[in-house]
Structure 1
Amino acid sequence: MPAHLYVRRPSPTTVCFTVSNAPSRQTWSAKLAFAVEILLRAVIFALVLLTDAAKLRHLDLGILRGRIDWTTGVGRMAARLADRYHWSIVAGASAVLIYAVWRRRYTEESLLVIRGLGVQTSTSSSMYWSSATTRFIPTTQIQDIVIHEAFKGFEVRFYLAIIVEGEPEVVVVFPNLLPRRRILEEVWRGARHCLFQPQPKPSPSSG
């Protein structure tokens, strides 16, 4: 899905540019589909844990003793499923399903610009339980923010880069999504305006 740009301005000296390829959830149908997806993930995760517990139910584990009733419909189903396959198959299938449940289907990358302090780049993790990868660059180390072009396969792609003093390589903003040039130009103008805008001169006092 194409990347979209979202701009937030918490204060006159702060602006956050977020690029995401997540599907839009503005309509009721999209919100309902998202809710169904979350519910389905929760059900699959619960069933995986129950099946794993059924595979271990014959072991003398205090954490499972008396906590699950295997005579219920769901309990019997999990027990039959666990007893039908070898433990290696159950463990492998559980790992794949848990990975699928916790895997994020989209990527979000952001550039936070704070005048007088610096910028912070952020890239979301591919898993819900893992935090985003961030880096803060002080204003004193930023030489410039530019738009470069490079070849990706047989295609020319543009990317936003921060030139950092003392570093041989530039810091690429939005490195995974590499949004369209129109988005990069909007971010470039907004970031430079916020970061390098000169402070207004004080008006002379009347004497």
Structure 2
Amino acid sequence: MTTLITILTRLASPPPQTLHTHQPTSSTVTYTVTTRPALTGLCAKLGFYVGISARVVLGMVAVLVVCLKWCVSLGIGISVLGAFWGEGGERGMRRIMKLIEITDGTYIIPLAILVLFLACKRNYKEESLTIISGLGLQTSTTSSFYLRSPSTRFISTTAIQDIFIHEAFKGFEVRFYLAVVVEGEREVVVVFPSMLPRRGILEEVWREGRKCLWEMGEKG
């Protein structure tokens, strides 16, 4: 019973968050919070790339099945499609087309959409804050799907009034968040809004971020 409770607790708990700091120049620093496991070993890297390859293959198969079902509905000949596979392709296409023909399209299309959805969906979250000394900061939230670009926003230094850590209730728990006060806006800009990392990560980003944004700019 204790083992079952432990397993359920691990499944219900959020994935661990990791902070990565990248400083390409002395005046630019990027803080990235991610739930993606670190690819430290050969097995981890191999598993990651195998997973990406499997997603691509599944997505292509789903699109191919829908296209073949569409060809069947239009009455396109098997010999025409089999020509793309060269010698022996017609025989293989005949079997595939026969299977697709007897399968109801009301099952194929929703299943293909589900496969494409799972193939394109990321299995991790990632958000970042880039600070350029004397210029401003940019927040970025990676999309939950691979084919969509991340959402970003740039705030110039002249518009930033303050950066602070605050707390708020989310459900029945207290969560801390890093906020940017922007001149002329009633609402603060929350950094890492979808992840809301733990207080230790926020304090490190807040302390180093303020130093890079203002102190380095004054020295320059």
Q: Which residue does 1:86 correspond to in 2?
A: 104
TM-score by length of 2: 0.83
Structure-2 separation of matches of 1:42 and 1:153: 37
Residue matched to 2:39: 25
1:204 aligned partner: none
**Structure 2 portions without partners, runs of 5+:** 1-14
Q: TM-score, normalised by structure 1?
A: 0.88
Count the aligned residue pairs: 199
Alpha carbons 1:52, 1:82 under 8 Å: kept: no
Change in 2 beyond 3 A, CA 1:28/1:76: farther
Distance 1:106 1:40, change over 3 A: same
Matched-pair identity in %: 46
- Counterpart of 2:6? none
Tell me, yes or no, if the aligned pair for 1:147 and 1:160 is still in contact at 8 Å: yes
Deviation at 1:39, TM superposition (A): 2.0
1:54 to 68, 92, 109: 68
In structure 2, the residue matched to 1:118 is: 136
2:184 alignment partner in structure 1: 166
Kept after mapping to 2: 8 A contact 1:47/1:78 = no
Q: How many angstroms does 1:83 deviate by?
A: 1.8
Read off the aligned partner of 2:30 and give its amino acid letter.
C
Structure number having the greater helix percentage: 2
Decide whether aligned partners of structure 1 residues 133 and 95 sit closer, same or farther in structure 2, where only a CA change above 3 A counts: same
Tell me the CA shift for residue 60 of structure 1. 6.0
Q: Tell me the distance in 1 between the aligned counterparts of 2:185 and 2:115.
A: 42
CA RMSD of aligned residues (A): 2.1
Q: Segments of 4+ in structure 1 off by > 3 A?
A: 65-70, 75-78
Matches within 5 A, 1:11-22: 11-22=25-36
